Amino acid sequence: MLTLIYVYLLYYILHFFAFGMYKKAGKNPIHVFIPLVQDFTLMEIIGRPKKQAFWGLVPYINFLFGLTWATDFCNSFGKRSFLHHFTATFFGFIYFPFLGFADANTKYEGPSHTLDKEKKVKKSMVREWSDAILFAVVAATIIRTFVIEAYKIPTTSLEGSLLEGDFLFVSKLNYGARTPITPIAIPFFHHSISENKNNAYSKIIQLAYHRLPGFEKIERDDIVVFNYPGDAYGFPERPIDKRENYVKRCVGIPGDNLEIKNKEWYVNGVKHAHFSNMQFAYNVYVNKPFSIDALDQLKIDWYKDFKEWPFMDGMGGPIMPVDVCISKFNELLYSTNHYKILLNDSQLDAIKKSPNVDSVTNYNPLNEIYAQANPANSALFPNDTMDMENGGSIKLKWDLDNYGPIHIPKKGEIITLTPDNIIFYYNIITTHERHSFTMENGQYIIDGKPTKTYTIQQDYYWMMGDNRHNSADSRYWGFVPESHIVGKPLFVWLSKDNFHSFFESIRWNRIFRSVKSLTK
């Protein structure tokens, strides 16, 4: 409710910039400071029915109506060009005070909406299209920010629940829309215009984090789109809402205790069943090489699982014609008796029954990489999150299959800080909740004051991919703050792989499927 009040206050305050123009229109300018009366007076100035003023009380909707009212407002003062409308839409906080106080030539010409109807004023085709495009851009930006947004899954971290190349519609309403933190940005771009170059936003204005009330809270097992917390270190200049978008499964909510033991996932001490398409990596040793047809029968997408082969581009796409790729893949298949394959439980059972297979063993990619260099697996959170004198950095011998236990912080929770747990909360205190933190003679100093405790200021979540051995998730970069939550994916509106031609690549059986049905 508090955030809704903030949204209305923003709309209410925007009227103040029209103070001088209300006066030029012969209205009492004090009306701009009185809720609802400000809109009743505006309807009189532009010639619209007074009952429309009540839309000004509805957050979000008031901004859409305000867009058309702003153009009528300009018309009522003789400012009818596209440039005037564009300036009023995006820079009204400067433009309206200029017209009201600095431009002596600007005079009120009458209620434009009524007069234009009476005179049957028509616009040129170019002008009609320009106004339509302007309205569409602004309306689409409001819808993308507060209601729903399209999103493409760029990686295989949720295979085979959600696939690389699935295009999703993500609801901002379910968990509550996050109000803009970086309001000045190029429409339809996220953080960059091209490949991490040329920012698509300006940091001239940075607003505090707020979230509108939602229909539901994030629950365990929900698929969630969020801003990648790791960008706080890789791209520290990026604001929260311009950090990379990630999609994972929420496996831990605020207050939970999580642990992974021998690939089994435990929440608050209770073992959680595998999802139907959750995958792990395995060594598969064969007495007779597989053919592509055999892999197809096992429902193994060989062009994805083997994307590291030299004829693939590393993103699931071929670097040579498909028929040549298939030929080369067959050659590779028949040149080895050992495959490293990602399999869900049903695929694992099927491949074990294949007469081609001698044995199947677990394969943990991260363990293989770090086995000799660092048995403690410093790539995983929270190892090496801080390096201070007097302790505070502990090497935990965790891996992808044996991880935790770890506690998910909850808003309002008071944490007693110790040398054993400070590495879990250091990034929360300093990066996500923006306090200074030092250690002096074994004491913890937060914002210049010695303390033994810290009160968590927002909820945190634990996100993991269903492709458990091929997912960059919370096991690598830790907790996801509530401030980074973007929304809830609803359904797949298009799905295609990167290997085949456009129409051949479309996965028709996934189109318009709900995310819930695909991720059970």
Whether 25 is in a domain gets the answer yes
* pTM for the predicted model, two decimal places: 0.76
> Could you tell me which of 228, 232, 235, 229 has the C-alpha nearest to residue 199?
235
Q: Mark residue 268 as left, alpha or beta (left: phi above 0; alpha: psi -120 to 50; beta: remaining).
A: left
**pLDDT tens digit string along 436-449?**
998 888 789 999 99
The whole-number pLDDT of residue 373 equals 44
Smallest CA-to-CA distance from 470 within 256, 347, 308 is with 308
**What is the pLDDT at residue 301?**
63
Would 480 be classed as within a structural domain? no
Residue with tokens 């609802």: 36
**Is 100 part of any domain?**
yes
pLDDT at 371: 44
Question: Could you tell me which of 166, 415, 185 has the C-alpha nearest to residue 304?
Answer: 166
Tokens representing 327 are 């030929």
Neighbour-count burial of 176, counting CB atoms closer than 10 A to its CB (0-12 exposed, 13-18 middle, 19+ buried): buried
Q: Helix-strand-coil percent breakdown of the chain, rounded to 5?
A: 35, 20, 45
Question: 263, 253, 300: which is closest to 159 by C-alpha?
Answer: 300
Structural tokens at position 16:
């103040």
Q: Quick one: 498 exposed, middle or buried, by C-beta within 10 A (0-12, 13-18, 19+)?
A: middle
CA distance 379 to 389: 21
Last residue of a domain, one of 315, 347, 371: 371
Residue 139 is classified by DSSP as H
Q: How many CA atoms lie within 13 A of 515 on its CB side?
A: 25
Q: Is 269 among the domain residues?
A: no
- Sign (positive or negative) of CA dihedral 210, 214, 220, 222: negative
- SS3 of residue 456 by DSSP: coil
Count of structural domains within the chain: 2
The answer to whether residue 234 sits within a structural domain is no
Hey, how many other C-beta atoms are within 10 angstroms of the C-beta on 133? 11
Is 229 a domain residue? no
- Among candidate residues 114, 139, 164, the one where a domain is terminated: 139
Per-residue pLDDT at 334 = 60
pLDDT at 315: 42
Contacts by residues 364-370 (CB-CB < 8 Å, ≥ 24 positions apart): 364/281, 364/399, 364/400, 364/401, 364/469, 365/281, 365/400, 365/469, 365/470, 366/399, 366/400, 366/469, 367/399, 367/400, 367/401
**Cβ atoms of 452 and 444 closer than 8 Å:** yes
Is the CB of residue 23 less than 8 Å from the CB of residue 32?
no
Sequence-distant (6+) residues with CB within 8 A of 434 are: none
Query: Mean pLDDT, consecutive 10-residue segments, the chain of 520 residues?
Result: 63 87 93 92 92 84 82 91 85 89 91 81 73 75 83 83 88 89 84 77 88 89 94 89 93 96 93 88 83 74 48 42 55 69 86 88 69 55 60 68 93 92 91 91 90 96 91 91 95 81 82 88
The pLDDT assigned to 372 comes to 44
Which pLDDT belongs to residue 386? 55
User: What is the pLDDT at residue 318?
Assistant: 42
pLDDT of residue 500: 67
Residue 50's CB is within 10 A of a number of other CB atoms, namely 12
Strands (DSSP E) found in 436-484: 437-440, 443-446, 449-451, 453-455, 460-464, 480-481
CA nearest 424: which of 478, 348, 487? 478
Look up tokens 């059986």; give the residue: 509
CA distance 411 to 459: 5
What integer pLDDT is reported at residue 313 of this predicted model?
Answer: 42
Structural domain containing residue 122: 2-139
Q: How far from chain centre, in Å, is Cα 93?
A: 29
Angle, alpha carbons 292-298-299 (nearest 5°): 85
Query: Domain end: 111, 139, 167, which one?
Result: 139
Residue 185, in any domain of the structure: no
Largest CA distance in the chain: 92
Residues 77, 79, 85, 88, Cα dihedral to 10° = -50
**Is 224 a domain residue?**
no
